Amino acid sequence: MGVKWGFKWDMALGFQDEGMEVDGWLELIRAIIRQYSFALDSLQIMGEANLTFTEGSKPNVQNALVQGIIVAKEAAEAANAQVKIGFAAVPDHFGPVVPEFWESIFQLGGRTFVESLDYVGYNFYADVFEASIDLKDIPASVEHVLRRFREKI
């Protein structure tokens, strides 16, 4: 992978298979860490798991997310690898989101989940979920979205 060229990779795993069992998902994460941790800077467990028309629509997705984060952190520590572990989400007011997502994942994973988490990618797109935006308005829009997230969540 990337180390041979002098840089490390950011990898994102999607939970797209509706038939995937959580145990199989967790074993996949362990296998990826075992095989590629030397070349990874970060591993994102799912993308936008709170969005109802992507991973958020899959059965057991919240449990798979929480357990996936915990297992990835444990596997990275066991491999003595410095891999940042996280996931991505969208703002609650951008499209149809899973109700009570943040509360649910915290209840499922508690402190162990929070302590295993290095980052949350907060994906918002000025030109997708909102009307067209003028370039000069982007900084204020970004500030508004981030402030709303910090104050609400």
In a domain, 138, yes or no: no
In a domain, 141, yes or no: no
pLDDT in tens, 30-87: 999 999 999 999 999 998 889 888 888 887 899 999 999 999 999 999 999 999 999 9
The whole model's pTM is what? 0.85
Domain tally, the chain = 1
pLDDT for the residue numbered 19: 75
In a domain, 140, yes or no: no
- Produce one character per residue of 67-99: b if its CB has 16 or more CB atoms within 10 Å, e if not: bbbbbbbbbbeebebebbbbbbbbbbebbebbe
The percentage of the chain sitting over the pLDDT mark of 70, rounded to a whole number, equals 90
pLDDT category of residue 152 using cuts at 50, 70 and 90: confident
User: By residue range, what is the domain housing residue 97?
Assistant: 2-125
